[in-house]
């Protein structure tokens, strides 16, 4: 009986997850494997969600050889870029089906956030 109650609570939480998606905004989707993707999140069915117009962050180390002061302080410097999904070697479509079990949480992004602004800028360049 207790296991049925726990199953019901988990099922209700997963089924209500989609009710908090603001379709007028982009979402940040945090997965259990540590990956974070940005795009338009939709509830597909009881067990899956669909993410479209997908972006992710890629970090690269900056060349700090000219900065002895920074090297001496032990700080490293990195560039962070927002990358559009689709140009990878395996050529994925701009759609991802994600098991709800793999989603830790998602956030609706403000329209003026740096990520949302970068997405809008990218989309405007493609027109």
Tell me, what's the pLDDT at 14?
47
Domain count, the chain: 1
Q: What is the pTM of this model?
A: 0.73
Q: pLDDT digits over 86-99, tens only?
A: 878 888 888 999 99
CATH assignment of the domain containing 90: 2.30.30.100
Nearest one of 22, 13, 40 to 104, comparing CA atoms:
13
Q: pLDDT digits over 65-85, tens only?
A: 655 555 555 566 678 899 999
- Residue bearing tokens 């199953």: 7
Q: pLDDT digits over 10-41, tens only?
A: 555 545 666 789 999 999 999 999 999 999 99
| Cα–Cα dist 25/115, whole Å | 11
Tell me, what's the pLDDT at 76?
62
Range of the domain at 11: 2-126
Q: Is 34 left (phi over 0), alpha (psi -120 to 50) or beta?
A: left
Strands (E), the chain: 27-31, 36-43, 48-61, 78-84, 95-99, 103-108
């Amino acid at each position: 009986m207790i296991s049925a109650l726990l199953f019901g609570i988990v099922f209700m939480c997963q089924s209500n997850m989609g009710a908090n998606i603001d379709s007028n905004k982009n979402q940040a989707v945090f997965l259990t494997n540590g990956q974070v993707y940005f795009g338009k999140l939709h509830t597909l069915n009881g067990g899956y969600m669909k993410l479209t117009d997908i972006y992710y962050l890629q970090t690269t180390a900056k060349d700090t050889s000219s900065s002895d002061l920074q090297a001496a302080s032990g700080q490293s410097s990195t560039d962070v870029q927002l990358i559009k999904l689709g140009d990878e070697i395996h050529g994925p479509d701009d759609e991802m089906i994600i098991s709800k079990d793999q989603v830790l949480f998602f956030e609706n992004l403000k329209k003026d956030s740096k990520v949302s602004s970068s997405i809008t800028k990218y989309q405007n360049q493609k027109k």
